[in-house]
Structure 1
Amino acid sequence: MLSQLVYVSNRKPNCTEEEIEKILEACKKNNPPLDITGVLLYNDTKFIQMVEGDMKTITSLYDKIKGDTRHDQVRMISLGPIKQKSFPSWHMGSRPIQNSNSIDYLTDITSEDKLTFKKILDGEEENGGKVLDILKKFF
């Protein structure tokens, strides 16, 4: 079943920009054969990642992600079936972000959207639809 999973985690200090590049290279190599797509947003202290693919495949991937030593306090925000992928051609799109007060969105964003994004960063937003709407505003 085609599904989507979103999580937020704390980026550890040992996760340098070089490590981020390693993560993205691994995604480019490993995700195509598994038909996994998605996006990764990150700053100095947080990761927000959304992955799309077969339910069993992405939950297995999530189990591996939870064990990655480059971050901790991994918290699933949403997991559920989808009708189609939101990022079908991106085996892992990525974008660095600053902090929730000075983010450069690529589309118009409301003050309510900004509050929702802060909730996402804090691991407090669980509405998958809201999370997806916000993530799309970055790309």
Structure 2
Amino acid sequence: MHHIIYMSQATTALTDDKLAALLAQARRDNEERGVTGLLLYGDKQFMQVMEGEAEVLAPLYDHIAKDPRHTGLIKLADKAVEQRSFADWSMAFRAVPAEQFASLAGYVSPEALRLQVPGLSGADALLLEMARQFVLPSNES
């Protein structure tokens, strides 16, 4: 079992109808591929957890990376896991208000992650930015 977690920025705000169409297609495709996961959307930002076999997730992630509906894709995790976290959901979804998205535990905006140190993974950049925010006064970060 494998999972990939990423964040990205929508190129335009998605209407409820566009989100519904995206979810319907994702759920249908994921069920056929044996993929489960979670998609959060708010303030033009996506965060997704995809779970399944590595040989299924790799091309799916490559396909997502080419999707023109978003930009600034940042992979936070890509690794083997012992079990699924969202086993019962072909694609759980939640629209999150901007202020609630920003208050997610450990949340760092995609813009902050794009300033990462060369050679660090997305997850390492996230940890580095969290450490910076912890030790630097807000006007210095």
Which category of TM-score, normalised to the shorter sequence, fits these structures? 0.7 to 0.9
- TM-superposition CA deviations, 1:64-113 (whole Å, max 9, x none): 101111111111111000111000010000001112xx328xxxxxx8x6
Q: Partner residue of 1:118?
A: 108
- Number of paired residues? 117
Amino acid of the residue matched to residue 90 of structure 1?
W
Structure 1 gaps of 5+ residues are 105-110, 131-139
- Assess if the C-alpha contact under 8 Å between 1:46 and 1:121 holds in 2: no
Structure 2 gaps of 5+ residues are 117-121, 128-141
Q: Give runs of aligned pairs for residues 1-139 of structure 1, distance below 5 A.
A: 2-13=1-12, 15-99=14-98, 102-103=99-100, 114=105, 116-118=106-108, 122-123=112-113, 126=123
Flag the structure with larger Rg: 2
Distance 1:122 1:41 in 2: 19
RMSD across aligned positions (CA)? 2.4
Amino acid of the residue matched to residue 61 of structure 1?
L
- Assess if the C-alpha contact under 8 Å between 1:42 and 1:48 holds in 2: yes
SS in 2 for 1:118: coil
- Assess if the C-alpha contact under 8 Å between 1:14 and 1:70 holds in 2: no
Amino acid of the residue matched to residue 108 of structure 2?
K
- Assess if the C-alpha contact under 8 Å between 1:5 and 1:80 holds in 2: yes
Distance 1:58 1:75 in 2: 15
- Assess if the C-alpha contact under 8 Å between 1:40 and 1:93 holds in 2: yes
Distance 1:38 1:121 in 2: 24
Aligned-pair distance for 1:119?
A: 5.3
State the percentage of identical aligned residues.
Answer: 25
- Assess if the C-alpha contact under 8 Å between 2:3 and 2:50 holds in 1: yes
For normalisation by structure 2, the TM-score amounts to: 0.73
For normalisation by structure 1, the TM-score amounts to: 0.74
Distance 1:79 1:26 in 2: 23
SS in 1 for 2:107: helix
Distance 1:122 1:9 in 2: 12
Note closer, same or farther for the CA distance 1:77–1:51 as it changes in structure 2 (3 Å cut): same
SS in 2 for 1:117: coil
